[in-house]
Copies of this chain bind each other. A is one copy, B any other.
């Protein structure tokens, strides 16, 4: 049933969303172009275009010049070239095992856009290190303007809107300055996942005092894989609003597919390196060791992966705590490491070698996404000793990583009923020194397979409100199969809803502008504007056109 298609990708979805245009804004203080989307409104409304945050990259320009073989423009290259403490070097040679030892005819063509890798050799490499040294990087300037939607001053009424919200102790500013960004990163409260080898990246920030972000997952599997499909899934995800994309590939051609994705990704790309390491040892967890893992970290860091999920919190001592669970260990990385620890009766090499992992990740400014390998897989197992024991370990590791100069975020559950969500958030903030929380859902009930984007959007909106910085999407296929194109879109839009609902509730000064524009369009019966302001103009228009709406349905 393998349907490998070893061709190179030829085309992806491009062009603006209906009624929108790409706008680049150059702040007065910096030579950089910050991307936004502008939604054009009916002239009769007398309203200016509505500017919205836009992670979709150049693909949504009106006439994009996309050549996947060349990759996106390297907008960070100049910044990095000027930066002291980095060196360009030859890099690790690609090995056959990197692509799953595929035969020549099954090998996906490597992406021709080769870049000589950089690595850190000086005292300041990571955004965290620069921030701690009081230095504002280009990336910090970029994200400050991005978060402000290109405004040069605070919105009128920003303070009132903040006061009207409830942010549970977050400190959202009226206006985001580069210095505010720096201070948040220095405090460990925010990260800019930006590998120095991902030069094509449009920087973005993850932290609870910024807009809530959304991650989507893509990735081939042993059963299906095609370079074209994976690149398109990435482009498709960001088109609908994914802020970062995790490549969870486990099949063949994993190295080359990742290269195509990275060279064409304007958003941070995250991976779970243990997945590829496991492929390299033939799928046998017991054959995993530090050497193959380390080699995989360097391989991926040189390619430009922006954050790694590292399940270093699954310690030998935690494994017995899962014995009485209803659903045991459901995280793939968690299961791999638990099996390794238990079979060898040995402490996890990820935990034992954590210092060395930090040293490698620091050199490329790969951010940590400390994985919750013991996240609950059911309502029954939520907030149990295994989950919280691991979270405490993650807190300990956060401090180690910070000491090593690394940026850190923390992964969270999972399956949690509504009344146990806030406890997760509060404990994470406490244990992990306010490092950004990055949660999967959580799903608030187990009884709706086929609808887990919804069971989890409820939990995601709530935990986003409570302080989670990034929400990992869940698609309708969760628990059932691999998401297709429609599922990816549904998942991303559902999570944009959750993230935006959270921003509104936190009192983010600019969040309500889009709601208000929609509400005015509704009150005026400006149908086209309603479609365009919405998260999914195509579906809204299609639904509208299916019935001639009667008067009762024309009001909000």
Give the B-binding residues of A (Cβ under 8 A). Answer: 1, 165-166, 221-224, 250, 326-328, 330, 332, 335, 377-381, 415, 417-419, 444-451, 453-455, 457-458, 461-462, 465, 476-477, 479-482, 484, 493-494, 496-498, 500-502, 504-507, 512, 514-516, 518-520, 522-523, 530-531, 533-536, 539-540, 542-544, 546-550, 552-553, 555-556
| Interface pair B166/A543, CB less than 8 Å apart | no
| Interface pair B377/A519, CB less than 8 Å apart | yes
> Besides the contacts A223-B548, A250-B552, A326-B520, what 10 more A-B pairs have beta carbons closer than 8 Å?
A221-B550, A221-B552, A327-B522, A378-B515, A380-B512, A380-B516, A449-B543, A480-B540, A481-B548, A482-B549
| Interface pair B480/A518, CB less than 8 Å apart | no
Listed residue (A480, A504, A515) with the most chain B CB atoms within 10 angstroms of its CB: A480
| Interface pair A497/B454, CB less than 8 Å apart | yes
Which residues in B have their C-beta under 8 angstroms from that of A481?
543-544, 546-549, 553
Listed residue (A223, A379, A447, A544) with the most chain B CB atoms within 10 angstroms of its CB: A447
A514 CB, nearest partner CB in chain B, Å: 5
Offer 18 A-B interface pairs, CB within 8 angstroms, sorted by A.
Answer: A377-B522, A377-B523, A378-B519, A380-B519, A419-B505, A444-B504, A447-B535, A448-B536, A449-B536, A454-B494, A455-B501, A476-B543, A477-B547, A479-B553, A479-B556, A481-B544, A481-B553, A482-B553
A530 CB, nearest partner CB in chain B, Å: 6
| Interface pair A482/B445, CB less than 8 Å apart | no
Partner of A519, one of B326, B453, B536: B326
Cα A453 to Cα B520 in complex, Å, equals: 21
| Interface pair A462/B418, CB less than 8 Å apart | yes
Closest to A556 in B: B377
| Interface pair A540/B449, CB less than 8 Å apart | yes
| Interface pair A451/B494, CB less than 8 Å apart | yes
Which residues in B have their C-beta under 8 angstroms from that of A493?
448, 451
| Interface pair B419/A555, CB less than 8 Å apart | no
Closest to A519 in B: B378
Contact A445:B552 (CB < 8 A) given known A543-B476, A543-B481: no
Cα A1 to Cα B549 in complex, Å, equals: 12
Cα A522 to Cα B536 in complex, Å, equals: 33
Cα A260 to Cα B467 in complex, Å, equals: 51
Which residues in B have their C-beta under 8 angstroms from that of A543?
449-450, 476-477, 480-481
Which 4 pairs show the lowest CB-CB distances between chains A and B? A378-B519, A481-B547, A377-B556, A418-B505
A527 CB, nearest partner CB in chain B, Å: 9
Which residues in B have their C-beta under 8 angstroms from that of A523?
326-328, 377
Closest to A542 in B: B450
| Interface pair A501/B534, CB less than 8 Å apart | no
